[in-house]
């Protein structure tokens, strides 16, 4: 079984998020970690995985194109951060199959543009997804909520202490790897809990 042996972080509700960051090379087999993420979301009974994607801008034939540079996947207990190579290789087919799963829902904030880019630029299709802002807008009867970012949406729905996240983000350029990984874990935990609360 894949070991999430990165740093663990305590959330404001005293829950614990265990992390793993992987620099993906052509020979890297990260499929066991994807399996752990799937197992955890099924074990929790919600079959939901919070995801976020990050892009690099490249110039190709005088045009600017976006290339997928990293992916963050979060469940109730785990956070996986994949830093992807410049050139996609065969091992990334595992990520394609993972996103194509019909058995889980991929939950994100402001993801519609990302979904288009994933398909057009990399041929990645997410079959089952949920834009959490739209769900929150309907559930709360407040249309403006749909357009909030992750932190603002979580603050609106959860009203929890975000001082640790704010502290890291306020000094982002000086933040070390563990601090940035903690910020990723906190954001994933926040959106997971927004989803969980809206489902009640």
Can you tell me which residue has the tokens 């969980």?
196
Cβ-count burial of 186 within 10 angstroms (0-12 exposed, 13-18 middle, 19+ buried)? buried
Contact in structure between 124 and 92 (CB atoms under 8 Å) = no
List phi, psi (to 5°) of 171: -125, 40
pLDDT tens across the length of the chain (200 residues): 678 999 999 999 999 999 999 999 988 999 999 999 999 998 888 889 999 999 998 766 666 788 899 999 999 999 999 999 887 777 788 999 999 988 899 999 999 999 999 999 888 999 999 999 999 999 989 999 999 999 999 988 998 889 999 999 998 888 888 999 999 999 999 999 999 999 87
- Give rounded-to-5 percent helix, strand, coil for the chain: 45, 25, 30
pTM score, two decimals?
0.92
């Amino acid at each position: 079984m894949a070991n999430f042996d990165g740093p663990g972080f305590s959330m404001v509700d005293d829950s614990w998020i265990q992390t793993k960051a992987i620099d993906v090379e052509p020979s890297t087999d990260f499929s066991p970690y994807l399996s752990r993420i799937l197992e955890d979301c099924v074990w929790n009974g919600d079959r939901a995985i919070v995801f976020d994607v990050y892009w690099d801008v490249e110039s190709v034939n005088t045009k600017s194109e976006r290339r997928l540079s990293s992916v963050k996947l979060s469940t109730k207990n785990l956070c996986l951060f994949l830093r992807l190579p410049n050139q996609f290789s065969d091992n990334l087919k595992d990520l394609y199959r993972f996103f194509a799963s019909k058995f889980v829902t991929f939950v994100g904030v402001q993801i519609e543009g990302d979904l288009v880019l994933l398909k057009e630029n990399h041929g990645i299709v997410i079959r089952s997804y949920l834009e959490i802002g739209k769900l929150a807008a309907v559930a709360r009867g407040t249309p403006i909520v749909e357009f909030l970012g992750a932190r603002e949406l979580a603050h609106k729905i959860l009203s929890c202490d975000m001082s640790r996240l704010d502290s890291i983000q306020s000094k982002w350029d000086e933040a070390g790897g563990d601090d940035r990984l903690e910020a990723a874990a906190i954001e994933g935990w926040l959106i997971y809990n927004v989803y969980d609360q809206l489902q009640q």
